[in-house]
């Protein structure tokens, strides 16, 4: 059996078969773990692997027990401040010391070592054997069992005397039992430049040499940055290259994919893939106040324990309502438990209703458990039960493993499986940590601290190697055979390695060595080992070696690699071999430039007959349709918007929603009363404001509970109370009674829209509907309308009244008047947080401002005609965008057809654009 061994081997290793057939029979390429596994298998040894996450958790458990029995120690303060992080750091120290064959002696040397020795007593009971223990056991058992190794050939990348003492001892034990030990042969010597440089570097010559200018066996390619390097190297085929060395191959793979070439397989370092974030997001559900943005992200994950159909509906409900803990979300969850979101295929839909209900009720208990485990509680609580957190991590771990097992049955799921198993590992570690808690409740600060330590950035698969791809290794040390041509990307940056047990103080290390408690890696041997591994491309390349240097990576300047420094210092004419490659202009594809000219006033489109029109409009949408038909088409008919999936409203919009809801809670008539008087409203504000504010904030304004919005929320609390007092003063001063809040109104405007049907199939005689913020009644019994706005743009609403363009107010005036069969004489905007009432009609009081309109045209009639006009345009496949004001057909027809006039932008000579548009690109 032939074993090609190096501690650095993992993933892809460049190795070629010795025979002509290219078949490697009875040959394995392994690192230390792989070698130990082979030997354990031959000797009948077996130990359970414990993941790194679990080892940290177990060490924390052991350290906790030590701290309880030994509270006065040098690490006690650090452990009290951040227990898990401290345990993780100390475990790293412990492992490095064990790697140096420390036998846990030396309590008298330092207080730090005394603590580590004390913790080991507890840790040894929890975690039996780690890799260092296994190396020592295997080394002893090879000799004890007199393992027959005569048929074993061990080929080393670096001579045995340069390896760690523990590895060195294992190799010698195998050699004693008959194994053949060889060092992998490097490239053959010749007279080319590459051989000269190889001899210069490896023999540590101090003088200078001159290379042959006509010999291209060694070249240095310099690029301004990593992007240009990857673009050039992926564009050129270079099929004669045997092996590529690239530590970070992600960007190269991205370029290869863009160019339609086979990807080589790559990983992304220091990242947190989307799916692994299930662990963090799920634990964040226990926070109070609940982070609603995290909840939305949790529900929108691509893979999840709960069905996607329900999650999507719940996320939309949260966004619509502005929070999670409200009646609408509660109803959605109840519907999910009752099976309303169970998918039925066509065959099942054809079954009787009773059988369909049986299908829906089948997994009711399972859905109930999913809700209780994977969704936050619908009631807010400052106490977190330890058992609930424990149940969550256990259930998430079980689900992740089951899902990974199912995904393994289908191809191309390696990335998902890798992330799911990471989730399972983190959950298992968290479960171990929770077992150390003896109380019924756990502080969220503890959860957050543990979570930030367990959940770390890591290296995850970015792409899988495809057939016919280049051979790429991610480290210079992973070349195990001689290559004819090598490209080494990334010969830049400081390649220095940290010394083993570098955390030890010099006095600690010297005492441990002097007393033979530790057998560390000799400094010269360690440096020699790392140097040989780093220079493996130089050693193992026979024909041509190209060193790729990037002057900047991610915009940051790079350091010079030690090899480049040596070449610049010792090669007299090194500049003759430095090239600056770039893709020539003649190699680039020529793109035909299309000049579309200016934006026309109208766009023509096909399939206008396919558009599905709604059965009603609202006072808001009819204004958009009349003034900005392109926006209406895109947003309302085609539903093409820039909003993300289930995206929460911004803080400004949320403030308005909260204000509306609190006004409704405190001002609306109760107990079937016809109206609310100012006196009873004043009592409600005095006694119920705080409770109503807290309840509404959680139900409608969850985004304001986020840390970044805390100051805004406090300001809202104060401003809103002032606005309510002002509104109440206006009611008293004008002898008004509140008859309704969010009052529903509908009307038949004969717009030509499709007919709406009720549950019995009867036609509803209405095509315009809306909700009035507040309806009131004056002392003479006349209806009054207030529309609330939370805005800093008071001038805009003043102009609407002055220019007679307040579309919402005029439609509410018309619709409420039709409903009450009573003329609505006064309508007004109440703007918050300024707490001012603006109207064309007169109101009493210092907070009320009357504005005179430029005209008294019937804009309701105009807007109805405009809506019909725009609908006819769209049905004919014509949509107005922008253009010179006088050139617009709508403007030409405004007077003759009684249309709602468009505003003109006097500076540009076009119609005034929509300030809130999402489609500016199409209107420029």
Which pLDDT value is given to residue 597? 62
Q: For residue 337, what are the contacts with CB-CB under 8 A and spacing of at least 6?
A: 364, 367, 368, 371
Q: What is the pLDDT of residues 816-831, one digit of tens each?
A: 999 998 899 999 999 9
Mean pLDDT of all residues belonging to the chain: 92
- Torsion over CA of 836, 838, 841 and 847, rounded to 10 degrees? 20
Which has the closest alpha carbon to 878: 601, 598, 602? Answer: 602
Average pLDDT over every residue of 478-487: 96
φ/ψ of residue 182, rounded to 5: -135, 155
Look at 63-72, 413-422, 754-763 and tell me which has the smallest mean pLDDT.
Answer: 754-763
Residue that has been written with the tokens 């400052």 in this structure: 382
- The answer to whether residues 491 and 561 touch, using CB atoms and an 8 Å cutoff, is yes
Which pLDDT value is given to residue 473? 95
Buried b (16+ CB within 10 A) or exposed e, 519-537: bbbeeebbeebbbbbbbbb
Residue that has been written with the tokens 């007919």 in this structure: 755
Residue 19 has pLDDT above 90, yes or no: no
Q: What is the pLDDT of residues 495-547, one digit of tens each?
A: 567 788 889 999 999 999 999 898 899 999 999 999 999 999 999 999 999 99
Buried b (16+ CB within 10 A) or exposed e, 422-433: bbbbbbbbbbbb
- What's the whole-model pTM score? 0.85
Which pLDDT value is given to residue 598? 59
Residue 141 has pLDDT above 60, yes or no: yes
Q: C-alpha distances in angstroms, 156 versus 26, 28, 339, 697?
A: 17, 12, 62, 67
Can you tell me the distance from the alpha carbon of 393 to that of 634, in angstroms, rounded to the nearest whole number?
Answer: 44
Residue 17 has pLDDT above 90, yes or no: no
Can you tell me the distance from the alpha carbon of 304 to that of 292, in angstroms, rounded to the nearest whole number?
Answer: 18
Concatenating the DSSP letter of every residue in 470-502 gives: --EESSGGGB-S-EEEEEEE--BS----PPTTT
Q: What is the pLDDT of residues 363-413, one digit of tens each?
A: 999 999 999 999 999 999 889 999 999 999 999 999 999 999 999 988 888
Tokens of 864: 């109805």
Which pLDDT value is given to residue 21? 63
- Residue 48: how many CA atoms within 13 Å on its side-chain side? 7
Which pLDDT value is given to residue 644? 60
Q: How many CB atoms lie within 10 A of CB 754?
A: 11
Quote the Cα angle for 38-43-48, to 5°. 70
Which pLDDT value is given to residue 44? 94
Q: How many CB atoms lie within 10 A of CB 188?
A: 8
- Residue 130: how many CA atoms within 13 Å on its side-chain side? 23
Q: Residue 747 belongs to what H/E stretch?
A: strand 737-747
β-sheet with 153-156: strand ranges across? 27-30, 2-5, 153-156, 180-183
Q: What is the pLDDT of residues 790-804, one digit of tens each?
A: 999 999 999 999 999
Domain ranges of the chain: 2-47+134-183, 52-128, 193-247+475-581, 289-375
Q: What is the pLDDT of residues 314-339, one digit of tens each?
A: 999 999 999 999 999 999 999 999 99
Residue 359 has pLDDT above 70, yes or no: yes
| DSSP 8-state assignment for residue 546 | E
- The answer to whether residues 681 and 666 touch, using CB atoms and an 8 Å cutoff, is yes
- Classified as helix, coil or strand, 805 is coil
- The answer to whether residues 157 and 8 touch, using CB atoms and an 8 Å cutoff, is yes
Which pLDDT value is given to residue 617? 96
- The answer to whether residues 3 and 156 touch, using CB atoms and an 8 Å cutoff, is no
Tokens of 483: 């290559």
Which pLDDT value is given to residue 602? 82
Q: How many CB atoms lie within 10 A of CB 405?
A: 11
Q: For residue 579, what are the contacts with CB-CB under 8 A and spacing of at least 6?
A: 219, 220, 221, 222
Residue that has been written with the tokens 């007299």 in this structure: 572
* CATH numeric code, 193-247+475-581: 3.40.50.300
């Amino acid at each position: 059996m032939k074993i090609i061994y190096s501690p650095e081997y993992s993933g892809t290793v460049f190795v070629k078969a010795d025979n002509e057939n290219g078949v490697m029979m009875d040959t394995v390429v392994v690192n230390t773990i792989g070698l130990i596994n082979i030997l354990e298998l031959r000797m009948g040894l077996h130990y359970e692997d414990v993941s790194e996450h679990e080892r940290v958790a177990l060490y924390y458990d052991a350290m906790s027990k030590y701290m309880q029995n030994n509270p006065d120690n040098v690490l006690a303060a650090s452990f009290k401040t951040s227990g898990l992080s401290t345990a993780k750091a100390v475990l790293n120290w412990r492992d490095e010391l064990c790697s140096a064959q420390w036998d846990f002696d030396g309590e008298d040397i330092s207080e730090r070592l005394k603590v580590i020795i004390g913790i080991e007593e507890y840790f040894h009971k929890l975690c039996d054997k780690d890799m260092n223990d296994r190396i020592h056991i295997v080394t002893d058992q090879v000799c004890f069992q007199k393992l027959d190794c005569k048929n074993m050939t061990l080929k080393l990348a670096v001579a045995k005397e340069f390896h760690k003492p523990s590895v060195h001892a294992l190799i010698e034990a195998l050699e004693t039992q008959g194994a053949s030990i060889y060092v992998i042969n490097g490239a053959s010597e010749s007279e080319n430049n590459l051989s000269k440089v190889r001899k210069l570097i490896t023999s540590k010559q101090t003088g200078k040499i001159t290379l042959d200018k006509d010999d291209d066996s060694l070249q240095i390619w310099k690029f301004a940055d990593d992007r240009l390097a990857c673009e050039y190297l992926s564009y050129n085929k270079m099929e004669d290259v045997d092996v590529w060395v690239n530590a970070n191959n992600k960007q190269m793979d991205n370029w290869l994919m863009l160019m339609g070439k086979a990807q080589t397989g790559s990983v992304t370092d220091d990242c947190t893939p989307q799916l692994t974030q299930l662990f963090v997001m799920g634990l964040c559900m226990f926070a109070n106040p609940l982070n609603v943005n995290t909840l939305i992200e949790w529900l929108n994950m691509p893979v999840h324990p709960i069905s996607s159909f329900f999650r999507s509906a719940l996320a939309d409900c949260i966004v619509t309502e502005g929070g999670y803990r409200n009646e609408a979300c509660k109803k959605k969850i109840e519907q999910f438990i009752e099976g309303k979101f169970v998918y039925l295929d066509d065959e099942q839909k054809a079954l009787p209703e009773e059988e369909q209900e049986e299908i829906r009720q089948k997994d009711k208990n399972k859905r109930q458990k999913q809700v209780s485990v994977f969704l936050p509680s619908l009631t807010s609580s400052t106490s977190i039960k330890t058992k609930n957190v424990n149940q969550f991590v256990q259930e998430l771990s079980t689900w992740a493993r089951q899902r990974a097992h199912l995904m393994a049955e289908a191809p191309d799921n390696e990335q998902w499986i890798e992330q799911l198993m990471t989730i399972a590992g983190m959950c298992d570690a968290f479960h171990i940590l929770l077992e150390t808690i003896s109380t019924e409740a756990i502080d969220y600060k503890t959860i957050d601290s543990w979570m930030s330590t367990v959940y770390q950035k890591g290296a995850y698969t970015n792409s899988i190697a495809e057939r016919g791809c280049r051979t790429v290794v991610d480290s210079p040390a992973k070349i195990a055979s001689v290559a004819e041509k090598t490209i080494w990307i990334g010969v830049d940056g400081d390649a220095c390695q940290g010394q083993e047990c570098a955390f030890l103080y010099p006095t600690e290390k010297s005492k441990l060595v002097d007393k033979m408690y530790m057998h560390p890696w000799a400094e010269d041997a360690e440096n020699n080992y790392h140097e040989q591994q780093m220079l493996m491309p130089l050693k193992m390349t026979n024909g041509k070696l190209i060193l790729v240097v990037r002057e900047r990576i991610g915009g940051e300047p790079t350091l010079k690699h030690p090899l480049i420094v040596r070449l610049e210092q010792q090669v007299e004419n090194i500049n003759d071999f430095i090239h600056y490659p770039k893709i020539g202009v003649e190699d680039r594809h020529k793109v035909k430039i299309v000049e579309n000219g200016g934006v026309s006033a109208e766009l023509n489109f096909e399939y206008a007959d396919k558009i599905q029109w709604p059965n009603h409009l609202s006072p808001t949408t009819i204004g958009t349709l009349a003034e900005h038909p392109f926006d209406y088409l895109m947003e309302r008919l085609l539903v093409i918007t820039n909003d993300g999936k289930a995206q929460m409203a911004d803080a400004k919009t949320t403030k308005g929603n909260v204000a509306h809801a609190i006004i409704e809670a405190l001002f609306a008539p109760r107990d079937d009363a016809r109206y609310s008087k100012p006196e009873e409203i004043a009592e409600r504000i005095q006694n119920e404001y705080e409770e109503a504010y807290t309840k509404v904030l959680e139900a409608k304004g969850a985004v304001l509970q986020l840390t970044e919005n805390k100051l805004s929320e406090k300001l809202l609390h104060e401003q809103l109370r002032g606005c309510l007092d002002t509104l109440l003063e206006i009611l008293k001063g004008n002898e008004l009674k509140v008859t309704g809040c969010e009052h529903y109104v509908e009307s038949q405007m004969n717009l030509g829209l499709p007919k709406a049907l009720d549950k019995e199939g009867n036609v509803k005689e209405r095509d315009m509907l809306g909700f009035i913020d507040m309806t009131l009644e004056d002392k003479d019994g006349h209806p009054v309308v207030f529309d609330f706005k939370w805005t800093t743009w008071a001038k805009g609403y003043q102009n609407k009244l002055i220019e007679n363009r307040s579309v919402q107010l005029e439609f509410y005036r018309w619709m409420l008047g039709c409903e009450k069969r009573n003329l609505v004489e006064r309508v007004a905007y109440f703007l918050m947080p300024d707490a001012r009432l603006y109207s064309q009609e007169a109101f009493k009081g210092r907070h009320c401002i009357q504005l005179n309109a430029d005209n008294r045209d019937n804009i309701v009639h105009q807007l109805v005609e405009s809506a019909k006009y725009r609908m006819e345009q769209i049905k004919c496949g014509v949509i107005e965008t922008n253009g010179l004001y006088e050139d617009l057909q709508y403007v030409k027809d405004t007077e003759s057809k009684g249309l709602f006039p468009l505003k003109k932008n006097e500076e540009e000579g076009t119609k005034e654009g929509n300030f809130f548009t999402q489609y500016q690109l199409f209107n420029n």
